[in-house]
Chain A
Amino acid sequence: MPSICFYFQIHQPYRVKKMRIFDVGGTDDYFDEQGDTLRNNRAIAEKVARKSYIPMLRTLRDLLVQHPEFKFTFSISGVALQQFEAWIPEIITMLRDLALTGRVEFLNETSHHSLSFLYSPKEFRKQVEAHRNHIERLFGVTPTSFRNTELIYNNALAKEVEDLGFTAVLAEGWDPLLGGRTPNQAYRAPNASRIVTLVKNYRLSDDIAFRFGNRDWASWPLTAEKFAHWVHSVAGSGELINLFMDFETFGEHQWEDTGIFEFMRALPGEILKHPDFDFVTVTEAAQRYPVRGIYDAHAPVTWADTERDLTAWMGNPMQLEALRSVYSLEDAVLESGDQKILEDWRKLQTSDHFYYMCTKYFADGDVHKYFSPYETPYEAFVAYNNALADLRTRLHAHLRNKD
């Protein structure tokens, strides 16, 4: 009986305001840009909530009522949850209602959507724990499976989160690693003994997430019936279809007028028309389906770009410098014992900051391929670097006062 495993990612970073060197030492809020800019975090969260989160949460709630077989999984970054709690508590309420159905799983990730796994194992574990506590506090459930920031995954990550006790971990289903095998079955890392690796079926996922509204696409317009037919055709060659995507797909990346909400409203019904198909959450999938092969990822694989590597965050010298700088403060931040400093330092670890500094596609003159709230990647770096400089002055002041 083949299953569909939907996982939706919800994340909003705290974008760094336009900080100049002259602001260093004169502010202790790096994320409070006001006015009509792309860095006004509250305005952006509210806009995305209106266009995407709230209508899609309603859609999902209706689907759970309509189809008792329907299930899905969320992963929600801690920084997104913080923003909802502060500015859009309605979303927390809606998520809590979904959690109460018992048919919605919440994954564990790092609290600050960080790259800490690559830079500090100690910090990584703390953020995983902080995120688990956050989910427990808000939704009354304890996460049992894990997804890392941007689906960054390798064998070492699988082992690390196996040791932390998780049942399943998510990864991109990347062709060079699958080597001709289907993504539609459960895998295991070569160095792991219990944890199950579920890999994204990126073709079917991206048909919804990227191509849905593209009128130049041969399969446009994509109907629920057509998509269900593609899914059904997997029967016989696979048992688990992992559809992983950003929650913002619905209403933000694909606007309402593309018909994306109607599509999702109809999709579970169309899939369930085939009596052999059903839905599972991530942990259920790992428990139900036996591991069929080894997924051997030495180098990190991610769900970003055509390369599926780390270069969107770690591709140029200034990104690497920024990452080294922020993680070099770890000991001093912990030593300070100051909770506000600790929280600001963690907010500066969010992967988006480094993504905004990406220059990968500048070489092609395709400046707009990457979305960024800054005019140039350099401007993103400068604002970030000045925030770090300010954090350093606060650390110095704090340590001096202690002496």
Chain B
Amino acid sequence: MPRVPKILMLGWELPPHNSGGLGVACEGLSRGLAEQGAQITFLLPFYGKDDTHGYMDVHAMVNAQTTDIETLKSYARLLASPYMSELEYAELLERTPGLSLYGASLFQLVELFVDYADRMSHSVDFDIIHAHDWLTYLAGIRIKERTGKPLIVHVHATEYDRTGDNPNPKIRDIELKGLHAADAVITVSGHTKRIVESRYGIPANKIYVVHNGVLPVVPVKRLPPGIGLLRAQGNNIVLFVGRLTIQKGPEYFIKTAKRVLEYLPKTIFLVSGSGDMEHQMMDLAASLGISSNVIFMGFLRGGELSETYGSADIYIMPSVSEPFGITALEAAQHGAALLISKQSGAKEVIGGAMHADFWDIDEMANSVIAILQSPGLRRTMREHARDDAARATWDLAAEKTTDVYKLFLK
């Protein structure tokens, strides 16, 4: 009888107070591991009062005492912001009076979390430290140094992915420390494994690929009202979902839209997400003269996001560098045909997708036009992508993670 692995997990966010895929992945993986018998203690900076993650033991540096949703949102945005740049963080802090006690900068918050996690770990029984992304690496290193327990760092993204090859040296330095101190590294794709090897000098035999999963969904039949109308008028719908940052390649989406519209003018391009490039993207659409065919929907989640996925003929993920790209699987679950960049991890698990280099506007437009013009191609792609998404489970990810744990369990 193998013994139950006891895992000390260090994370930065959990749904519903997540700003992106990191929280979703931590939840999915932890739940999968718990179902397979792992005993998980999860430490993170912030936890809402009514959050429910009953399959594990969650402790947070800040436990919200309020159920007021606006206050919770402010806390969550401030603390749970792994994707925010240092500058954005400072701006947010300035705009949100009364929240400064948690640290004047993101890096100070990271330091606070190191002390907090280290202190907490005294009273936790665990075999392995499992730290998710750079924000928690320093805490992982501190606990490993004190306890001698093995450290696994889990790379959901690197600073190279986030910044389009223009890393913040402070963050890169923390990543480098964490990756080198780790006894094993888990990456969410072969794509990320190659980056960890080439950019951080980590030997391949220390890196294990565990692709993310996606929770099964029942696709919604209802369309968002405005979109339903556009569809009824005979428009095709092409969708982008993601933060409007350099990493996600929104400008390539807009440029592809321009090229497609030359051939298929009855096509609407939806942009769901917010970020530092939002205004730039609106300006780009306007300067290309396609504003009336590009709709910026802002950040969507939950039912709204599901409905939007469900409305799309095609989902495009033109990321410049995408460690995984869980949105591609979500779009597939809702029946969209997929066009994803070759620079993505999702490509490794979705056979039912077209691929293009993110910069190859003509190739992307060529694919989009073909998909929109051919019902046979569309149907074939949708069916296969949906099958691929159904096979990408967190159970599978948890099994592979358990295999890595076993290397360190005596």
Binding site for B on A (CB under 8 A): 20-22, 316-322, 359, 362-363, 365, 367, 375-379, 381-382, 385-386
Contacts and interface: CB of A to CB of B under 8 A. Distances in A.
A318 B380 CA distance: 6
Residue of B263, B352, B366 with highest tally of chain A CB at under 10 A: B366
A362 B387 CA distance: 10
Contacts of A362: 351-352, 384
17 contacts: A20-B362, A20-B366, A21-B263, A21-B369, A316-B383, A317-B377, A359-B351, A359-B352, A359-B380, A363-B384, A375-B355, A377-B380, A378-B381, A379-B354, A381-B374, A385-B370, A386-B366
Contacts of B355: 375-376
Given A22-B366, A385-B370, A378 B377 contact: yes
B375 A317 contact: yes
A365 B362 CA distance: 28
Contact of B374 (A20, A318, A359): A318
Given A318-B374, A362-B352, A365-B351, A378 B380 contact: yes
A200 to B, nearest CB: 31
B53 interface: no
A317 B376 contact: yes
A365 B352 CA distance: 10
Contacts of B391: 365
A197 B354 CA distance: 43
A382 B384 contact: no
Contacts of B384: 359, 362-363
A109 to B, nearest CB: 28
A401 B276 CA distance: 55
Given A320-B376, A321-B375, A385-B377, A367 B351 contact: yes
Contacts of B379: 317-318
B375 A386 contact: no
B380 A376 contact: no
B363 interface: yes
Interface string B381-392: 101100100010
Interface size class of B (residues with CB under 8 A): 20 to 34
Given A20-B366, A22-B362, A359-B384, A381 B351 contact: no
Interface string B332-374: 0000000000000000000111110000001101110110011
Contacts of B380: 316-318, 359, 377-378, 381
Contacts of B354: 376, 378-379, 382
A30 to B, nearest CB: 15
A322 B384 CA distance: 18
Contacts of B366: 20-22, 382, 386
**Residue of B355, B380, B381 ringed by the most chain A CB atoms within 10 A:** B380
A317 B337 CA distance: 14
B214 to A, nearest CB: 16
Contacts of B263: 21
Contacts of A363: 384, 387
Nearest to A23: B366
Contacts of A359: 351-352, 380, 384
A359 B351 CA distance: 9
Interface string B192-216: 0000000000000000000000000
Contacts of A378: 353-354, 367, 370, 377, 380-381
B374 A321 contact: yes
Interface of B: 263, 351-355, 362-363, 365-367, 369-370, 373-377, 379-381, 383-384, 387, 391
Contact of A386 (B352, B362, B370): B370
Contacts of B370: 21, 378, 381-382, 385-386
B377 A382 contact: yes
A138 B166 CA distance: 64
The 7 residue pairs across chains A and B that have the minimum distance between CB atoms: A321-B376, A317-B376, A318-B376, A20-B366, A362-B351, A382-B370, A317-B379
A317 B383 CA distance: 10
A363 B350 CA distance: 10
B376 A382 contact: no
A329 to B, nearest CB: 16
Nearest to B263: A21
Contact of B377 (A20, A367, A381): A381
A376 B385 CA distance: 13
Contacts of A321: 374-377
A239 to B, nearest CB: 46
Contacts of A365: 351, 391
B152 to A, nearest CB: 26
Given A21-B370, A317-B375, 12 more contacts: A21-B366, A316-B383, A317-B380, A318-B374, A318-B376, A359-B380, A362-B352, A376-B355, A378-B367, A381-B370, A382-B367, A386-B370
Contacts of A381: 370, 374, 376-377, 380
Contacts of B363: 20
B387 A385 contact: no
Contacts of A322: 376
Contacts of B367: 378, 382
Interface centre among A322, A376, A378, A381 (most CB of B within 10 A): A378
A226 B320 CA distance: 57
Nearest to B387: A363
A354 to B, nearest CB: 12
A378 B379 CA distance: 11
A231 to B, nearest CB: 41
Contacts of A379: 354
Contacts of B374: 318, 321, 381, 385
Contacts of B375: 317, 321
A367 B351 CA distance: 7
A382 B353 CA distance: 13
B151 to A, nearest CB: 32
**Most B-side CB within 10 Å, residue of A316, A317, A386:** A317
Contacts of A319: 376
